[in-house]
């Protein structure tokens, strides 16, 4: 099985509110249709969900109307994407809100069976960053990045990838860092910046931190540019793209 996350920065205009990039979604659907293995797809929500989560400060407090409009927005994007994917292969929405209970920001309970059944039946499950109920905080945000690491640690996939809007993790000069290991990461604290979009889940640094958890368990992963045509196909074929995150 392959786990792939497509960033919200790829399928939405991230500095606007609720603007989906339909053309990119169609191109991505075509590239994904070349898959030879089972695929679990996760996507970020970009300008769907992040603006609402920020407006209602869902990272730091419970807010019932905020929770509802954030979940609704994230689901809206998911349905747009899944409808496009279904023009190429069977794909089904699975919303984290419906199947996850968190506690203090961490996933406590998850109903995995829906994913397993979909995969067994040759259907691609498509899940996304979302807000979920939290036993301590009332609500918490579970990012697509976090879902990638959680699923990868639970399901031992063959390959893990995160497609985003830059060529990989970039150094001070803007060049792609070919490889990051837990040891190397300690020297890289100054390369991360905030882009000024609505992102509430840590951007590139957040991604690397999640993927280092996998590296520690011996699971290699890639951060690459999914806006660049052909990269998703390369990743699916097992070619090296972008930055690889692996153990020392």
Ligand X SMILES: Nc1ncnc2c1ncn2[C@@H]1O[C@H](COP(=O)(O)OP(=O)(O)OP(=O)(O)O)[C@@H](O)[C@H]1O
Residues numbered 145-204 forming contacts with ligand X, rule: CB under 6 A: 164-166, 169-170, 191-193, 195, 197, 199, 201, 203-204
Distance between CA atoms of residues 14 and 199, nearest Å:
8
Q: Give the number of residues in contact with ligand X, rule: CB under 6 A.
A: 22
Residue 165 binds: one of ligand X, Mg ion, none (C-beta under 5 to 8 A by kind): ligand X
Closest CB to Mg ion among residues 118, 204: 204
CA 67 to the chain's CA centroid: 19
State the binding partner of 204 from Mg ion, ligand X, none, CB within 5 to 8 A by kind.
Answer: ligand X
Alpha-carbon distances, residue 198 vs 15, 49, 125, 165, 231 (angstroms): 7, 9, 26, 15, 26
88 contacts: CB under 8 Å, gap ≥ 6: 29, 30, 32, 33
Residue 199 or 210 having the CB closest to Mg ion: 199
Other C-beta atoms lying within 10 Å of the C-beta of residue 190? 8
Residue where the block lists tokens 């040891």: 183
Q: Cα–Cα distance between 191 and 14 in angstroms, integer?
A: 21
130 conformational bin, left if phi > 0, alpha if psi -120 to 50, beta if neither: beta
CA distance 141 to 92: 22
Q: Examine residue 99 and tell whether it contacts ligand X (CB under 6 A).
A: no
Output the smallest distance, CB 117 to ligand X, in A. Answer: 26
What are the helix and strand counts (H, E) for the chain?
Answer: 10, 12
Q: Mutual orientation of helices 203-215 and 144-155 as an angle, nearest 10°?
A: 10
Site string for Mg ion, 199-228 (x = CB under 5 A): x-x---------------------------
Instruction: Considering the complex, state which of residue 8 and residue 66 has its C-beta at the smaller distance from ligand X.
Output: 8
Residues 151 to 210 in contact with Mg ion, rule: CB under 5 A: 199, 201
CB of 122 to ligand X, least distance (A): 26
**Least distance from ligand X to the Cβ atom of residue 82, Å:** 16
Q: Check the CA dihedral 63-69-74-79 and report its sign.
A: positive
When the beta carbons of 201 and 243 are compared against Mg ion, the nearer one is: 201
Shortest-Cβ-distance residue relative to ligand X: 44
- Which is closer to Mg ion, CB of 134 or CB of 199? 199
Q: Which of 66, 96, 144, 242 binds ligand X (CB under 6 A)?
A: 144
* 51 in contact with ligand X (CB under 6 A): no
Among residues 2, 3, 4, 9, which is the contact residue for ligand X, using CB under 6 A? 9
Residues that bind Mg ion (CB under 5 A): 199, 201
Residues that bind ligand X (CB under 6 A): 7-10, 44-46, 144, 164-166, 169-170, 191-193, 195, 197, 199, 201, 203-204
């Amino acid at each position: 099985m392959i786990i792939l996350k497509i960033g919200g920065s790829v399928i939405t205009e991230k500095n606007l509110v609720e603007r989906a990039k339909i053309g990119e979604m169609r191109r991505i659907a075509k590239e994904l249709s070349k898959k030879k293995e089972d695929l679990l797809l996760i996507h970020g929500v970009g300008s769907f969900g992040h603006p609402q989560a920020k407006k209602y400060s869902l990272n730091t407090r419970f807010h019932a109307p905020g929770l509802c409009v954030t979940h609704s927005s994230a689901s809206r994007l998911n349905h747009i994407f899944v409808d496009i994917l279904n023009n190429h292969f069977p794909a089904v929405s699975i919303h984290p809100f419906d199947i996850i209970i968190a506690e203090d920001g961490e996933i406590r309970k998850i109903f995995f069976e829906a994913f397993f059944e979909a995969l067994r039946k040759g259907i691609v499950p498509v899940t996304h960053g979302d807000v979920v109920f939290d036993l301590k905080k009332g609500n918490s945000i579970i990012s697509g990045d976090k879902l990638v690491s959680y699923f990868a640690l639970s399901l031992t996939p063959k390959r893990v990838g995160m497609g985003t809007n830059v060529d990989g993790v970039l150094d001070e000069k803007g060049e792609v860092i070919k490889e990051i290991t837990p040891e190397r990461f300690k020297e890289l604290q100054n390369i991360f910046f905030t882009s000024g979009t609505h992102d509430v889940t840590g951007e590139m640094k957040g991604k690397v931190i999640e993927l280092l958890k996998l590296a520690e368990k011996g699971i290699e992963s890639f951060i690459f540019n999914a806006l660049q045509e052909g990269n998703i196909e390369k990743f699916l074929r097992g070619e090296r793209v972008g930055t690889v995150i692996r153990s020392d």
